[in-house]
Structure 1
Amino acid sequence: MLLWGGVRTRIAGTRKGDELYLLPVEGDPLPPVGTAVRGALDDERRTRLMRTHSGLHVLTGVVFRDFGALVTGGNMEPLTARMDFDLAEVPPDFKDRIAESVNAEIAADRPIEVKTLPREEAFAIPDIIRTATNLLPPDIEEVRIVDIVGLDTQADGGTHVASTSMVGRVEVVKMENKGRGFRRLRIRIV
């Protein structure tokens, strides 16, 4: 949000053009041109997104470890998300097994560490890219690494909580077959 003259303008998103444009929530007041503003984060929303993002990494780590499946897509909102996997076959109890394994990893209270490595050193780490397509632009010289110690190490630019126990509990709400071996898992953080 932007804070100015005792007024608050919520920011709904951004748009890129020649510059980065902030998009206010419809109906919120706009500061007059030239007004000094201060930016602030919605800490509750950010924390929920951090918990969700870290929960998705635990999910990805478990599915990769137990089934060798790569991520083909995903999306998240605060405390709810979906993750798509390239997974041709799943056992009948897949959804329950995944939920149990993910929550066991969360309960293990694994530290989540972040570091930056030179590209060559980062790509020497086995399976550093857990997506079916490498989304890391070739001109990136330093790679940010997120390591859920003992479970999942990935190139990643997002924000995370400090340990898995901070995620909370993950409910696997639904599993969908998206065709040709692609499975979608919908989760909720509680």
Structure 2
Amino acid sequence: MSVPYFRTDAYLSEASGQVVAHTAEGGVVLDRSLFYPTGGGQPGDSGHLTWPGGAVQIATTVKGGGADIVLVPAAPQALPPVGTRVEQHLDWTRRHRLMRMHTGLHLLSVVIPLPVSGGAVGELRSRLDFDMPEAPEDSEALEALLNRMIDDDLPVSETWITDADLAANPGLVKTMSVAPPRGAGQVRLVQIGEGEGMVDLQPCGGTHVARTGEIGRLRLGKIEKKGRQNRRVYVHLDG
């Protein structure tokens, strides 16, 4: 089991860890991982590991068996032996952009309050697919509302509820294509705003910024028709 550093501090970019296993595919499993594994539409983290006498570039990160987090090297190479203490170095510039964009997509689901049928987080361009038979009439108004919530610098926090509470409140789940992880007894909710100023609350396992003002300006891009009921809405990070 890899303990996820990113769950308690998404801003931590360097930390130590110990190699507990290698995978048959050439991946590395650490006891504690800075690296977020691909999931929920968010790509896995990249960066590098160092140890006395060695280093390895990490191209991406994926989920392994059970609660393992597997760091995937950029190319086949000698790995730190099991038991080695390593230093983890996250590609922080990339991770921070993904955090900004992921939080931005949560806001997009607020300005377009329709069921989400898919999505993908990217560094500079991301998308959500909506159950939306007709395209929005005024995309400029949607973009203005999106950036107004960013300018409001709303706090982004997390809370946890039980599996049973989530089952009793199905309206919390916006995404039809990705079911919230159940079975551990509790589910993480990401909240944007607080009190009467709360604008969003939904299950999510990804990494997010601490306040919406950190996102920066977002620009709505193309809105594509994807089947009879679906529209794909792109959003771009400007700067």
Distance 2:211 2:69 in 1: 32
1:107 to 146, 151, 158: 151
Distance 1:148 1:33 in 2: 42
Which secondary structure does the structure 2 equivalent of 1:77 belong to?
coil
- Residues 50, 8 of structure 1: alpha-carbon distance in 2 compared, 3 angstrom cutoff: same
Which secondary structure does the structure 2 equivalent of 1:174 belong to?
strand
Contact 2:163 2:183 in 1 (8 A): no
Distance 2:121 2:93 in 1: 15
Matches within 5 A, 1:156-167: 156-167=204-215
Contact 1:84 1:182 in 2 (8 A): yes
- Residues 32, 127 of structure 1: alpha-carbon distance in 2 compared, 3 angstrom cutoff: closer
Q: Deviations over 1:2-50 (max 9, x none)?
A: 11236542211245368654221137x5345355422222222211111
- TM-score computed with the length of structure 2 as normaliser: 0.69
Q: Deviations over 1:90-123 (max 9, x none)?
A: 3432x22221111111111111111112223344
Matches within 5 A, 1:1-190: 1-5=48-52, 7-14=54-61, 16=64, 21-26=70-75, 30-31=78-79, 33-34=81-82, 35-64=84-113, 69-93=114-138, 95-125=139-169, 127-133=171-177, 135-149=179-193, 150-190=198-238
- TM-score computed with the length of structure 1 as normaliser: 0.85
Gap runs ≥5 in structure 1: none
| RMSD after superposition | 2.3
Distance 2:219 2:159 in 1: 29
Which secondary structure does the structure 2 equivalent of 1:162 belong to?
coil
Distance 1:91 1:45 in 2: 31
Aligned-partner residue type, residue 39 of structure 1: Q
Matched residue pairs, number?
184
- Residues 151, 187 of structure 1: alpha-carbon distance in 2 compared, 3 angstrom cutoff: same
Contact 1:122 1:145 in 2 (8 A): no
Which secondary structure does the structure 2 equivalent of 1:40 belong to?
strand
Percent of aligned positions with the same letter in both sequences? 36
For CA contacts below 8 A with separation 6 or more, give which structure has more relative contact order. Answer: 1
